[in-house]
Chain A
Amino acid sequence: MNTYLMRASGRVVGKSALLLLAVVVLLTLAPLSPPDHVVLAERLQAPGATHWLGTDPLGRDLLSRLLAGARITLGLALSAVALAGLVGTLVGLLAGYAGGIWDALLMRLVDMQLALPTLLLALLVIAVLGPGVGNLVCVLALTGWTRYARIVRGQALMLRDREFILSAHAIGAGAWRIMLRHLLPNLLAPVLVIATLELARLIVVESALSYLGLGVQPPTASWGRMLAEGQVYLASAWWVVTFPGLAIVLSVLCINLAGDRLRHRFDPRP
């Protein structure tokens, strides 16, 4: 296939990924029936006219819970990405631009954290702090900030001897002003790319934690929790585990595709 066609089809894939993402976001904002409404008489109903995606073991409407879960899962992942991005970028800027003792200290901290697999670290911290929405955001952010810090540090090291930074320094700009007004704008593209890929990763981590019962607590709906609740009824009700999983896969797929597009857009390498 020639390159023009490949680019064109790539564009189509990227557009459809964005479109699907938009659908997910819109559905997330859609008004819905109460997702925690228990009707035991209607438990484990197959998908049909009244309940489009069926009902769960407590007779709650699966579609409503799926949408409510989307708000929780995506909301948690988005806040964690924002928190990790903020902390990681600041740390990276400080290490890369200020250098010296800051660089040595902060990067040792990053190295130290890399001695543990991310999910293990998350489990350890949750074991101490206990589950809960606030804790969950912190834990998710904790597993991700090092990625931003390392990339931003590398970029800041590359940029700090460039002329525009030197001239800003020469006309008397302070370190913070240089970092925030001159370095940061030039770093936003790679940070955005990491943030997209991290969003997909954190959705999976959040679902895994909730699946293990260490994330969002019942009765709040989250995709991982719904999977765990449905697994017991695997033999009799396939829909309870199928749809939340599909929701995870579709959103991760869309975000990954959008992230790939962003990377190609910002990364000059082929």
Chain B
Amino acid sequence: MRLIKTLAGACLAVFGAVTIVFCVTRLLGDPAALLLPLGASDAQLQALRQQLGLDQPLWLQYGHFLRQALNGDFGTSFMQGRPALALVLERLPATLALAGSSLTLGVLLGGAMGVYLAVRPGRVSRWLVQPLLLACQATPAFWLGIMATLLFSVSLGWLPTGGYGGVRHLVLPALTLAAFIGASVARLLANSLQQAANDDHVRTARAMGLMPTQVFIWHVLRNSLMPVLTLVGIIAGELLGGSIVVETVFAWPGSGRLLVQAIANKDFPVIQAAVLVVAVLFVSVNTLVDLLYGWLDPRLSQGGKR
């Protein structure tokens, strides 16, 4: 039952994204002018308006747009003369590799830092780790990326400044994105660990004579993971948008960079396709987190209110 509800919600969300793209492109601008390359003649504009059905009522246009989106037909890129969706899908693996590795790195590093903060709340935590985390959270990924290139590529010459290739090319962009993720995860985890450590059941577990490590892992850590999962879900979704900038910094040929180039060239078929592909991914991630939630916290899936 919950599964059906969640999936229905996901479909609605994708539908919402398609609607937003429709509204933004049709109501804020003239799609015929947007879809034709710069410098098209008036006759060409008129012809395209008729061909796109822009003289028809808005709701008919909307239905037409929905049908096209369902078929994955977003038109042909002006710059490359190929179907827009194929172009975006081609670049997707690079984006997913970057997002996946930075999320993994960020969660691992952040998890370790968070546990350290909660277990050893001393001077090192207070005057070194916490300020470092605050600074990481306040640093925009693109500037961190530029500074990392300055240090590791320009000065030390250890890693390439950008481009696509083996793992060496992935290290800097992934670490750059992971810094913010790690800092957010660490701060939240430390906070919820400290709260969970004062719970009654933890005191009981200690009183029963369990080893401190056992108490920590099975009774404190396990109960603090829920808010972290929510955060990771939000971050994973935003990462798809956030990696756009980092891809540009490192000339990483993902779909985010494709989108930025398409915007610069006013290549609207590609813009629409890229936005919708990322939106579908975004919704899928959120749905996955939702389902994971029900699995981790059975109270949610049994229909009762929280």
Q: Residues of A at under 8 Å CB distance from B?
A: 1, 9, 111-121, 123-129, 200, 204, 207-208, 211-214, 227, 231, 234-235, 238, 241-242, 245, 248-249, 252-253, 256-257
Bits for B241-272, please: 1 = Cβ < 8 Å to A, else 0. Answer: 11011001100000000011011101010010
B194's nearest neighbour on chain A, judged by CB, is A270
Query: Smallest CB–CB gap between A194 and chain B, Å?
Result: 16
**Cβ of B147 and Cβ of A241 under 8 Å apart?**
yes
Q: Mark B113-144, 1 if CB is under 8 A from A, else 0.
A: 00000000100001000000011011110110
**B228 close to chain A: CB less than 8 A:** no
Given known A-B contacts A200-B138, A204-B140, A117 and B278 have beta carbons under 8 A apart? yes
- From residue B105, how far is it (CB to closest CB) to chain A in Å? 20
B241, A118: Cβ atoms closer than 8 Å: yes
The CA of A66 and the CA of B34, in the complex, are separated in Å by 35
**How many whole Å from A264's CB to the nearest CB in chain B?**
12
| Shortest beta-carbon distance from B7 to chain A in Å | 15
Main DSSP-derived SS at the B contact region? helix
Determine the chain A residues whose CB is within 8 A of the CB of B279 once the complex forms.
115-117, 120
Q: Tell me which of B135, B266, B283 contacts A253 (CB under 8 A).
A: B135
Residues of B in contact, count (CB < 8 Å): 51
B contact residues around A120 at 8 Å (CB): 240-241, 244, 259, 275, 278-279, 282
Q: Which residues of B contact A207 (CB under 8 A)?
A: 140, 142-143
The interface centre, meaning the residue of B14, B140, B146, B149 with most chain A CB atoms within 10 A of its CB, is B140
Check: B16 CB closer than 8 A to any chain A CB: yes
Contact mask B16-35 → A, CB, 8 Å, 1/0?
Answer: 11011100110011000010
- Please measure, in the bound complex, the distance between the C-alpha atom of A19 and the C-alpha atom of B34, giving whole angstroms: 48
Nearest chain A CB to B34 CB, angstrom units = 7
Q: Does B300 contact A (CB under 8 A)?
A: no
Q: What is the CA–CA distance of A212 and B241 in the complex, to the nearest angstrom?
A: 13
Our pick among B24, B238, B271 for the contact of A117 (Cβ within 8 Å) is: B238
Q: How far is B262's CA from A222's CA once the two chains are assembled, in angstroms?
A: 23
Of A116, A200, A253, the residue contacting B20 (CB under 8 A) is: A116
CA–CA, A121 and B34, complex, Å? 17
B150 within 8 Å of A (CB atoms): yes
**Residue B237 at the A interface, CB < 8 A?**
yes
Please, how many angstroms separate the alpha-carbon atoms of A212 and B245 in the complex? Answer: 7
Q: Contact between B260 and A212 (Cβ–Cβ < 8 Å)?
A: yes
Within the complex, the shortest CB–CB distance from A251 to chain B, in Å, comes to 9
Does B89 make an interface contact (CB < 8 A)?
A: no
**Shortest distance from the beta carbon of B250 to any chain A beta carbon, whole Å:** 11
Residues of the A chain whose Cβ atoms lie less than 8 Å from the Cβ of B13: 111-112, 114-115
Whether the pair B271, A119 counts as a contact (CB closer than 8 A) is: no
Query: A115 touching B14 by the CB < 8 A rule?
Result: yes
Q: Which residue of A lies closest to B237 (CB)?
A: A117
Tell me, in angstroms, the Cα distance from A241 to B151 when the chains sit together. Answer: 12
The one of B146, B241, B264, B266 in contact with A231, judged by C-beta atoms closer than 8 angstroms, is B146
A242 CB → nearest B CB, Å: 7
Q: Which residues of A contact B161 (CB under 8 A)?
A: 234
Is B154 engaged at the interface, CB distance under 8 Å to the other chain? yes
Chain A contacts for B139, CB-based, 8 A: 245, 248-249, 252
**With A and B bound together, what is the CA distance between A126 and B225 in angstroms?**
38
The chain A residue with its CB closest to the CB of B151 is A238
User: Which A residues are in CB contact (< 8 Å) with B24?
Assistant: 124-125, 128
From A116, A200, A204, A242, B275 is in contact (CB under 8 Å) with A116
Contact: A245 with B143, CB < 8 Å? yes
